[in-house]
């Protein structure tokens, strides 16, 4: 008999409650998230002859942008094209399965002792004591699914909240960006705005000055920027605007400025936003996974979380938001660790 060990708060299975479990099928790995971290891990795992199910809700964080930069051999590629290529490579292997669904919970299930139940422990690997049952809700017409695996890789990335300005979304990904390494080059020497409400704006402004010195930091009347920081920025010619922002101004060509509550419009042709990041899953509710102060999944150098058999890679792990190629590299590294874990070497 299989024993369900639900973690505290893991009752969020309602979305997939009606779904019948996959009949007796146990995957080597279930990967949650088909961004660069998940896809890269998936490719490496199927090439290690691991049976992999990838579950993805099709909400990539960078869908707002038309071109992504800095990925070796793919500089300037559309992010959707990069995902399409990655998924095509993954699915070209017979060991690969892909299902479009939103994961709502993971339960840990004790492997039945040898002789009890249909399967022997040896079927799962001698040292594997738990299996993981992943509940997901189908999206865009795909079915709900409950699937079981010997390991789980969480590669769900981050969700981001932009400052609450009426038109900000219209310019995000074209005139306004969040990743300086990704989009700074295209903004070289342009009159830029840095908009944010978090305490790290001064550091971000110094970084951004590598690409343009015509820079104004907008705190929206919220971000705490010390007079010491303001003086340090001033010494580099970076301005600080502390008044509240009314909206982003622009036309069909793109952003033209930042309008303030008092009617002033500060001319800017583009810039960078500091979003507030949140995670895509309730990790505490799932198996009580350990998270950092900023709620990212704590992992060791192999991508192991605090729950044996559950791994994580990409933006959902510290230090958080990075780049496509970094997430893909992490996915490959963690895939090797999962394979070693399944053999009993890790
Ligand atoms: C506007 C913008 C532009 C960017 N431009 C660049 C660039 O030019 N170059 C660059 O290198 N980087 C860029 N980035 C950063 C880059 O997109 C991320 O660093 C990278 O995508 C992180 O990869 P990931 O696999 O960790 O997560 P993501 O790519 O975010 O993928 C996570 C996946 O998990 C899925 N998911 C989440 N929750 C669930 C769930 N509960 N169940 C099932 N699936 C789930 C999501 O649908 C998504 O497909 C940009 C980011 C943004 C926001």
Which residues approach ligand 1 with their CB closer than 6 A? 32-38, 55-62, 64-65, 68-71, 102-103, 155-157, 173, 177-179, 182-183, 280-281, 314-315, 321-325, 327
Taken in order of first residue, the domains within the chain and their CATH numbers are 3-158+277-343 (3.50.50.60), 163-274 (3.50.50.60)
- Asked if residues 129 and 2 have their Cβ atoms less than 8 Å apart, the reply is no
pLDDT band at residue 211 under the 50/70/90 scheme: very high
Cα distance between residue 22 and residue 285, in whole Å: 23
Cα distance between residue 224 and residue 163, in whole Å: 15
Packing angle of the helix pair 201-208, 227-235 (nearest 10 deg): 10
CA of 101 to the centre of ligand 1 (A): 16
pLDDT score at 16: 45
CA of 226 to the centre of ligand 1 (A): 32
pLDDT score at 195: 97
Integer angstrom CA distances of residue 48 from 84, 95, 336, 340: 22, 10, 9, 10
Cα distance between residue 298 and residue 316, in whole Å: 9
Report the mean per-residue pLDDT for the chain. 89
Task: Report, in angstroms and rounded to the nearest whole number, the Rg of the chain calculated over CA atoms.
Answer: 23
Tell me: the pLDDT tens digits for 263-290? 999 999 999 999 999 988 887 788 889 9
CA of 42 to the centre of ligand 1 (A): 15
Closest C-alpha to 335, from 79, 73, 93: 93
> Which residue owns the Cα nearest ligand 1 atom 12?
323
Bond from prior residue into 126 cis (ω within 30 degrees of 0)? no
pLDDT score at 274: 94
When comparing pLDDT for 15 and 315, which is higher?
A: 315
pLDDT score at 21: 63
pLDDT band at residue 164 under the 50/70/90 scheme: very high
Tell me: the pLDDT tens digits for 303-339? 999 999 999 999 999 999 999 999 999 999 999 999 9
Q: Which residues pair with 177 in a beta bridge?
A: 272
Residue 111 has what DSSP assignment?
P
Cβ-Cβ contacts under 8 Å for 62 (sequence gap 6 or more):
68, 79, 173, 324
Percent of the chain with pLDDT over 90: 78
Q: Is the pLDDT of residue 118 over 60?
A: no
- Asked if residues 346 and 327 have their Cβ atoms less than 8 Å apart, the reply is no
Q: Is the pLDDT of residue 155 over 60?
A: yes
Following CA atoms 67, 70, 75, 78 in sequence, which dihedral angle do they give, to the nearest 10 degrees? -30
Cβ-Cβ contacts under 8 Å for 27 (sequence gap 6 or more):
51, 52, 53, 97, 147, 148, 149, 150
């Amino acid at each position: 008999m299989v024993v369900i060990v639900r973690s505290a708060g893991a009752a969020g299975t309602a979305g997939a409650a009606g779904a019948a479990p996959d009949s007796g099928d146990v995957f080597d790995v279930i990967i949650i998230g088909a961004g660069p971290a998940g896809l890269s891990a998936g490719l490496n795992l199927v090439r290690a002859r691991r049976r992999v199910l990838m579950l993805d809700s099709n909400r990539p964080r960078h869908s707002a942008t038309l071109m992504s930069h800095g990925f070796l051999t793919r500089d300037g590629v559309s992010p959707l094209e990069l995902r399409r290529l990655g998924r095509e490579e993954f699915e070209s292997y017979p060991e690969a399965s892909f299902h479009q669904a939103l994961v709502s919970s993971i339960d840990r299930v004790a492997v039945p002792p040898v002789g009890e139940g249909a399967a022997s422990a040896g079927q799962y690997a001698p040292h594997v004591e738990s299996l993981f049952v992943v509940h997901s809700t189908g999206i865009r017409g795909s079915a709900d699914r409950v699937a079981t695996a010997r390991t789980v890789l969480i590669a769900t990335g981050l969700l981001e909240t932009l400052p609450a300005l009426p038109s900000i979304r219209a310019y995000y990904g074209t005139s306004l960006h969040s990743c300086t390494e990704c989009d700074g080059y295209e903004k070289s020497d342009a009159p830029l705005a840095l908009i944010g409400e978090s305490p790290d704006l001064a550091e971000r402004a110094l970084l951004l000055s590598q690409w343009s010195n015509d820079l104004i930091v907008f705190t929206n009347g919220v971000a705490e920027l010390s007079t010491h920081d303001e003086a340090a920025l001033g010494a580099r010619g970076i301005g600080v605007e502390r008044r509240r922002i009314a909206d982003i101004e622009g036309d069909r060509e793109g952003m033209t400025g930042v309008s303030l509550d008092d009617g002033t419009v500060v001319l800017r042709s583009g810039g960078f936003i500091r979003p507030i990041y949140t995670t895509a899953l309730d990790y505490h509710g799932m198996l009580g996974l350990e998270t950092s102060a900023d709620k990212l999944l704590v992992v060791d150098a192999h991508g192991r979380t605090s729950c044996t058999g559950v791994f994580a890679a990409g933006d959902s792990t510290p230090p958080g938001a990075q780049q496509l190629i970094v997430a893909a590299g992490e996915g490959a590294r963690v895939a090797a660790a999962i394979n070693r874990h399944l053999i009993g070497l890790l």
